[in-house]
Amino acid sequence: MWRDSIVGQAEIVSALHESITQDTLSHAMIIEGSSGYGGLPLVLSLAQHILCSQDGATSCGQCKSCQQVEGLIHPDLHIGYPVVRKEGKERKNITSKDYMTEWRSMILENPYTTYNEWIRSIAKKTANGDINVKECNDIIQQLNMQAFSGAYKVQIIWIADRLGSNGNKLLKLIEEPPEGTFIFLICDNIDTILKTITSRCRVINMPRVDEASMSAALITQDVEEDQAKQISFISDGDFAQALTYAQLEQNNLMELCLQWMKLCADFDLQGLRQWSTEFGKYNSEEQKVILNYFLKILQSVIYHQMIGPDAVKLSASDKAMLLRNQSLLSLTVDEIDLISQKVSRMITMIQRYVTSRMVMFDASLSIGTLLKKRA
Ligand SMILES: [Zn+2]
């Protein structure tokens, strides 16, 4: 059942399922939060409960409806999401339906898929996906039709951030959804949604996933316990990020980060150029993960200085590597603060699709200059 695929979030999950049982669930809702907090699996679990043919505190998991929702093939479960143009067709005629097979298989494999991962899987270059006017018209049309199999219909709009001003088309529908219809808008950031829409919906802010649940979920995915704890600690409650970390782990992030700092400290231009090119080969999620991990290393250095080695929450092997690295351990709090600011800025720029190789090289030079001054 979809409910079992949600990592943590026990409180919000049971509250919302309870309101389905009590028949008090709002008919137009916005679920806000990073994809890694689990908005999509949560909404799919609600859809499964709403469409289940049995009465109960949650979906039965056995009936035909439950199984159809499980496979994302229920005729009354409609899902819209951003897409890109397709060979041989005009963009204005392309909707989610043209990508249903790809989307379904991606989400069935990982309901914590992010927008970037999705778009990268269907577009060759860094493209911008959006939800177009035809999609909005289709949504209106299909929700105004009779339900196929029961009394209820569910419309999910995944990454509603990409509706833009087309969202206006859906205003009336959201204000007065047809009988038995539930509309869920899932977005990373509510500020991207028209105020006219947000004001008509009940808004749920997804909290971050707690470390213990995240750790337990990683262990079921064959991550070793020590590693799972470390990944949960550095993922900031974002399970999508945790999964990327888990995949990257074999590259040994600690070694990568220490190597980078050494190149900066030596002001090794040739080496930094090569390093920036290598860094550019990672995808944007992976780059973000590497940089976030570096921020955690810097934070650990501060903990080490303020409290002592026991306060360093890295895995045993990474901690040993850090404690051997005198040049990092001797950074002052002010220096760490400056470097952290630069790294945070890099993350923002990479998210805005600035060429990562350039961002990396540029930041490396300024961190190198900072480190050179102290030598
Ligand atoms: Zn059922």
Instruction: Tell me the CATH number of domain 2-207, given options 3.20.20.70, 3.40.1160.10, 2.60.40.730, 3.40.50.300.
Output: 3.40.50.300
Tens digit of each residue's pLDDT (9 = 90 or more) over 154-210: 999 999 999 999 999 999 999 999 999 999 999 999 999 999 999 999 999 999 999
Q: How many angstroms separate the alpha carbon of residue 16 from the centre of ligand 1?
A: 17
> Is the model more confident about 251 or about 21?
21
Which residues lie below 8 Å from residue 26, measured CB to CB, with a gap of 6+?
Answer: 201, 202
Q: How many angstroms separate the alpha carbon of residue 315 from the centre of ligand 1?
A: 42
Least confident of 15-29, 205-219, 235-249, 348-362: 348-362
Q: Is 61 exposed, middle or buried (0-12, 13-18, 19+ CB in 10 A)?
A: middle
What dotted CATH number matches 252-374? Answer: 1.20.272
The tokens describing 85, both together, are 């143009």
Residue 125 pLDDT grade (very low, low, confident, very high; cuts 50, 70, 90) = low
Above 80 in pLDDT, residue 352? no
Q: How many angstroms separate the alpha carbon of residue 65 from the centre of ligand 1?
A: 6
Q: How many angstroms separate the alpha carbon of residue 210 from the centre of ligand 1?
A: 29
| End-to-end Cα spacing for the chain | 58
Q: What is the mean pLDDT of residues 272-281?
A: 92
pTM for the full model?
0.89
Tens digit of each residue's pLDDT (9 = 90 or more) over 308-320: 999 888 888 889 9
* Closest residue by Cα to residue 16 from 4, 1, 31: 31
Residue 360 pLDDT grade (very low, low, confident, very high; cuts 50, 70, 90) = very high
Q: How many angstroms separate the alpha carbon of residue 109 from the centre of ligand 1?
A: 21
What pLDDT does 259 receive?
92
Q: How many angstroms separate the alpha carbon of residue 66 from the centre of ligand 1?
A: 4
Q: How many angstroms separate the alpha carbon of residue 13 from the centre of ligand 1?
A: 17
Q: How many angstroms separate the alpha carbon of residue 358 from the centre of ligand 1?
A: 52
What pLDDT does 249 receive?
67
The tokens describing 350, both together, are 């990479």
Q: How many angstroms separate the alpha carbon of residue 7 from the centre of ligand 1?
A: 21
Q: How many angstroms separate the alpha carbon of residue 2 from the centre of ligand 1?
A: 12
Q: What is the mean pLDDT of residues 280-290?
A: 89
Q: CA 269, CA 275: separation in Å to the nearest integer?
A: 10
Q: How many angstroms separate the alpha carbon of residue 48 from the centre of ligand 1?
A: 7
Q: How many angstroms separate the alpha carbon of residue 60 from the centre of ligand 1?
A: 4
Residue intervals in the chain for CATH 1.20.272: 252-374
CA 205 to chain centre: 14
What pLDDT does 250 receive?
67
Q: What share of the chain is helix, strand, coil (3-state, %, to 5)?
A: 60, 5, 30
Q: How many angstroms separate the alpha carbon of residue 146 from the centre of ligand 1?
A: 20
Q: How many angstroms separate the alpha carbon of residue 147 from the centre of ligand 1?
A: 17
Q: What is the mean pLDDT of residues 332-355?
A: 89
Q: What is the mean pLDDT of residues 109-129?
A: 88
Q: How many angstroms separate the alpha carbon of residue 268 from the centre of ligand 1?
A: 62
Q: How many angstroms separate the alpha carbon of residue 64 from the centre of ligand 1?
A: 7
The tokens describing 265, both together, are 């400290």
Q: Are the beta carbons of 8 and 181 closer than 8 angstroms?
A: no
